[in-house]
Structure 1
Amino acid sequence: MNLFALLDQAAARFGDRGAVYHGERQVWTWAQLRERALRLAGELRGEPGARIAVASENRPEIVELMFGIWAAECVYVPINYKLHPREMADIVADSGATQVFASPMIAAQLDIGIPVETIGAESYAQRCRAEPVAPPDTDPAALAWLFYTSGTTGRSKGAMLSHRNLMAMTVSHLADFDAPEENCSLVHGAPMSHGSGLYIPPYVLRGARQVIPESGAFEPAEFLDLCEHHPGCSAFLAPTMVQRLVATGRPRPRNLRTVVYGGGPMYVDSLKKAMAAFGPIFTQLYGQGEAPMTITGLRRADHLDADDAVLGSVGYARSGVAVAVVREDGTAATTGEIGEIVCRGDVVMSGYWNNPDATATTLRNGWLHTGDMGSFDERGYLTLRDRSKDVVISGGSNIYPREVEEVLIEHPGVTEACVVGAPDEEWGEVVVAFIVGTADPAALDAHLLARIARFKRPKRYAFVDELPKNSYGKVLKRALRAQLMR
């Protein structure tokens, strides 16, 4: 089954009802959205499996592009609009995308050697008036979405997600977390290029309206206002976004019914404050791009438990997913024993695009090896303990230390550099760079901003005479983290 079938079903059931809203304004009904997607597909259809990239802040057109690309039996390649143009170009090149759609803000920055269609321009409007295609019948194993997530080496890796993978994710969400209907709404506060965008399929299937803020981003006051206006609102938010909502001091909007949080650590104290402010509306997910949004979860009912160990966990295995904790030799860890978290199920990717070595490392004996360390308690709750991959998750965005370190080392005033994450109440974690050398923070900021995305830049620099190392010369990051804690 092609994922376009979700929109097909919604249009058949709710054709004249509003489907996509920009702020409070209705943009398209379900019937109009279906027709526009099929007309786009008529313009895009070519070789099945062709990759088509989309780089944009949150906009209504992302929804029609997603389903139009699937209707054309092509592969959706969303790009985080916060990335540096060089990083965007790397993803386009790696994916082998033949076309790129970009918002006006992004299109002006891209110089990638292939056509860039500006979303909202007259040429884009012409594409939406092409001759429509018939709804496709696609092998469920066919590639649907290339989800790019950088590796610890700094090289972007495209997790290959099939129509079957995303259908399993859709069913699991509806089974575990939320039961939206046509009188409900999904408010896109988080980026539609990754976190929030993955929630489009289940909510489209149920006929819930897609609400895109006019700002194209997350503004707490705007988000809360939209949840006053639209019925039955749900949203996926990073923990830092939840904390920004609490900081407004405003009460829960009358129509805000569910907040799914994930993408980074939510401290128990912060979670308790959010529940005190907004009530029992929260659910938590633990997942990766390799198993999108679907490894374990903490249900709404679990949040009513006064036990901090439960609130500090990531919950139970999700529907349709097997989750285990294993030792280095692959044997099962005992209750309370820390090991690597692995999972398997229909939601797990088929591998990394054009990267057989990384695929072989991550997918072993039918299990996805997450690189995250955790343990199960006697009740079956999974708690994350550490990350073997050293990824820093700040405000819901993954930041990979090696990538930042490699750019820092290019500066003539840096002899050595080591990047770690430090706990932060607002952002979950912030990036801290330990530097051996003579460069000053302002110079390092300028150097980094010319080469990588702003959100990856260290929040703090610590200048040291030398980095702690073991007998093999490897930097001891745990010693640096301990130093930060002191």
Structure 2
Amino acid sequence: MNLADWLVRTARLMPNAPALLHGARTVATYSEWADRAARIGRGLREAYGVAPGDRVALFMANSIDYLEVLYAIWFVGAVAVPINHKLHGREAAYIVSDSGARLVLVSGDERDAAAAFQNAATVLSVESGRYRELCRYEPLSAPHAQASDSLAWLFYTSGTTGSPKGVMLSVQNLQAMSFAYFVDVDEVRPEDAALYAAPMSHGAGLYNFMHVARGARHCVPESGGFDAAEILALAETVGSLSMFAAPTMVRRLIQQARAVGHSGDGIRTIVYGGGPMYVADIEAAVEQFGPRFVQIYGQGETPMTITALSRALVADRAHPRWRDRLGSVGVAQSCVDVRIAGPTGETLPPGETGEILVRGPSVMDGYWNRPDATAETLRDGWLWTGDMGAMDEDGFVTLKDRSKDVIISGGTNIYPREVEEVLLRHDAVHGASVIGRPSAEWGEDVVAFVVITADKSPSVDELDAFCREQIARFKRPKHYVFVSALPKNNYGKVLKTELRRQLDADACL
């Protein structure tokens, strides 16, 4: 099947049901959405030569257009390549080039994007007249027929080397994720509304499938992102909102709710994940809003589908180990097997820490054009996540240190090597090592330990400006620690454990 078949089916069964909302205003029914996607799909094929299997990149902010374009891409049998809109142009250009995207759809000025992508692909702005012309094409009669193992979503994530890798997700991967949502996370009803306050290029965008399948509404805030006051207002006007939120977003929403005396009315479900949630924060959230929270743990390689902590378990205070469970990421979702393994792949007993392994139909087919990385990550049918954790006797998984040293800030992964490589390009930086520091606001902050080249004395502002020119703003260090040397072992590897100890002991930060 084609993922667009779900949209077509719902449009036939519920043609007049409200589908796309900009803020509280309905801008399209399901029949209108399906019609526009079919027209744009034909336009992509005839005007831009997009064929089945071609990659089409989306470097776009959250918008109604994003949802229309996604389904237009699938209508023609092509592959969506979502790119975080906050990335630096150079970072986005790498993804466009590596994926071999034929076309890049962007928000804003086409000329700026074309320059950033160095003309590696055709660029089309969804705000342009050329894009609006696509809606005048005759609609495709049906989505392109596809096998279930056809590539549908090519999501770029970075590994320990800092080099982005394309995670290949097939139609059946996304089907399995969607079915597991209904079993393990939440039911969806036609009167519900998916709220896209987190980037649609990531997990929030993937949750569209469940709501399309059930004929629910899709609401993009007028701000295009997360604004706590706006969300509480939409809860009152739109009602029955469900949203994916990083822990920092949950924290801000609760702070705003406390300030205005909001009890969560109009919010059906908040699925939180993408970073560490402090137990005290989720306790406060449940106290303010009641049992509206579900935690999920996943990664790009098995999207949203490793473990889940149901709303009943999040709200439970009767179990003797409720606090331990609240500090976990829950139990294995229904579509996967999860186990904790030692270095050679042996299953460890309950309570012991090892690497989290996953297998099941939601696990990726591999990395795009990266057979070595695929072979390292997928072994004997198991996905080696790179995350360290322990599983108790009841199956609850608690995350420990991440073996890949990923920093998660505001729900977004930041890979130290990327930041280190940028810093080392500065002629005043002799050495650099980046780690994360716990942050009540963001989950983690980026901290850079820097060794200065002799006879140089760069300021923090200078290094910050240099980073802003090279990488996305959210990746740049929030703090700098200038040191004479980086601690290393006998093999020359930087001992980040020592840096963490130094950071903990440093009262100046």
- Give yes or no for TM over 0.5: yes
Q: Which residue number corresponds to residue 474 of structure 2?
A: 455
Deviation of 1:106 after TM superposition, in Å, equals: 7.4
Distance 1:106 1:82, change over 3 A: farther
User: Are 2:110 and 2:124, in contact at CA under 8 Å, matched by a contact in 1?
Assistant: no
SS in 1 for 2:92: helix
2:309 corresponds to 1:309: no
Deviation of 1:76 after TM superposition, in Å, equals: 0.4
* Equivalent residue for 1:64, pick from 58, 64, 68: 68
Query: Where does 1:163-312 land on structure 2 (aligned, <5 Å)?
Result: 163-248=171-256, 249=258, 250=260, 251-306=262-317, 307-312=322-327
> 1: CA distance between counterparts of 2:149 and 2:200?
24
User: Are 2:436 and 2:445, in contact at CA under 8 Å, matched by a contact in 1?
Assistant: yes
Deviation of 1:357 after TM superposition, in Å, equals: 1.0
User: Are 2:151 and 2:171, in contact at CA under 8 Å, matched by a contact in 1?
Assistant: yes
Q: Which residue number corresponds to residue 162 of structure 1?
A: 170
Please list the CA deviations of residues 68-112 of structure 1 after superposition, one character each: whole Å capped at 9, or x if unmatched. 101100000111000000111111001000011101167634422
Aligned length: 486
Amino acid at match of 1:299: S
User: Are 1:107 and 1:118, in contact at CA under 8 Å, matched by a contact in 2?
Assistant: no
Amino acid at match of 2:503: L
Moved over 4 A (4+): none
> 2: CA distance between counterparts of 1:309 and 1:238?
21
Deviation of 1:149 after TM superposition, in Å, equals: 0.7
Please list the CA deviations of residues 37-89 of structure 1 after superposition, one character each: whole Å capped at 9, or x if unmatched. 11111122343100001111110011111111011000001110000001111
Amino acid at match of 1:245: L
User: Are 1:146 and 1:159, in contact at CA under 8 Å, matched by a contact in 2?
Assistant: yes
| Percent sequence identity over aligned pairs | 50
Deviation of 1:219 after TM superposition, in Å, equals: 1.0
> 1: CA distance between counterparts of 2:205 and 2:374?
24
Amino acid at match of 1:127: L
Q: Which residue number corresponds to residue 95 of structure 1?
A: 99
Q: Which residue number corresponds to residue 19 of structure 2?
A: 19
Amino acid at match of 2:265: R
Amino acid at match of 1:27: V
SS in 2 for 1:108: helix
Q: Which residue number corresponds to residue 57 of structure 2?
A: 53
Please list the CA deviations of residues 101-150 of structure 1 after superposition, one character each: whole Å capped at 9, or x if unmatched. 10116763442212211103221111122121122321010000001111
User: Are 1:56 and 1:106, in contact at CA under 8 Å, matched by a contact in 2?
Assistant: no
> 2: CA distance between counterparts of 1:106 and 1:81?
14
2:373 corresponds to 1:354: no
Distance 1:106 1:336, change over 3 A: farther
Query: Where does 1:52-131 land on structure 2 (aligned, <5 Å)?
Result: 52-104=56-108, 108-111=112-115, 112=117, 113=119, 114-131=121-138
User: Are 1:190 and 1:218, in contact at CA under 8 Å, matched by a contact in 2?
Assistant: yes
User: Are 2:329 and 2:397, in contact at CA under 8 Å, matched by a contact in 1?
Assistant: yes
Q: Which residue number corresponds to residue 405 of structure 1?
A: 420
Amino acid at match of 1:454: R
SS in 2 for 1:371: strand
> 1: CA distance between counterparts of 2:411 and 2:280?
18
SS in 1 for 2:271: strand
> 2: CA distance between counterparts of 1:366 and 1:71?
31
User: Are 1:282 and 1:303, in contact at CA under 8 Å, matched by a contact in 2?
Assistant: yes
> 1: CA distance between counterparts of 2:109 and 2:248?
25
User: Are 1:89 and 1:110, in contact at CA under 8 Å, matched by a contact in 2?
Assistant: no
Amino acid at match of 2:470: R
User: Are 1:326 and 1:341, in contact at CA under 8 Å, matched by a contact in 2?
Assistant: yes
Aligned Cα root-mean-square deviation (Å)? 1.1
> 2: CA distance between counterparts of 1:342 and 1:242?
28
Unmatched 5+ residue regions in structure 2?
Answer: none
Return the TM-score normalized by structure 2. 0.94
Please list the CA deviations of residues 208-230 of structure 1 after superposition, one character each: whole Å capped at 9, or x if unmatched. 10000111111111111111111
> 2: CA distance between counterparts of 1:195 and 1:221?
22
> 1: CA distance between counterparts of 2:494 and 2:264?
48
SS in 2 for 1:27: strand
> 2: CA distance between counterparts of 1:107 and 1:9?
38
SS in 1 for 2:131: helix
* Equivalent residue for 1:430, pick from 428, 438, 445: 445
Please list the CA deviations of residues 8-61 of structure 1 after superposition, one character each: whole Å capped at 9, or x if unmatched. 121122111110000111111000000111111112234310000111111001
> 2: CA distance between counterparts of 1:107 and 1:215?
24
User: Are 2:113 and 2:123, in contact at CA under 8 Å, matched by a contact in 1?
Assistant: no
Please list the CA deviations of residues 382-421 of structure 1 after superposition, one character each: whole Å capped at 9, or x if unmatched. 0001111000000001000001001101111111100000
Deviation of 1:439 after TM superposition, in Å, equals: 2.3
Q: Which residue number corresponds to residue 363 of structure 1?
A: 378
Deviation of 1:442 after TM superposition, in Å, equals: 0.6
SS in 2 for 1:104: coil
User: Are 2:435 and 2:448, in contact at CA under 8 Å, matched by a contact in 1?
Assistant: yes
User: Are 1:270 and 1:425, in contact at CA under 8 Å, matched by a contact in 2?
Assistant: no
> 2: CA distance between counterparts of 1:326 and 1:172?
24
SS in 1 for 2:207: helix
2:394 corresponds to 1:379: yes
Please list the CA deviations of residues 142-175 of structure 1 after superposition, one character each: whole Å capped at 9, or x if unmatched. 0000011112211111100000000100100011
User: Are 1:264 and 1:393, in contact at CA under 8 Å, matched by a contact in 2?
Assistant: yes
User: Are 1:80 and 1:193, in contact at CA under 8 Å, matched by a contact in 2?
Assistant: yes
Unmatched 5+ residue regions in structure 1?
Answer: none
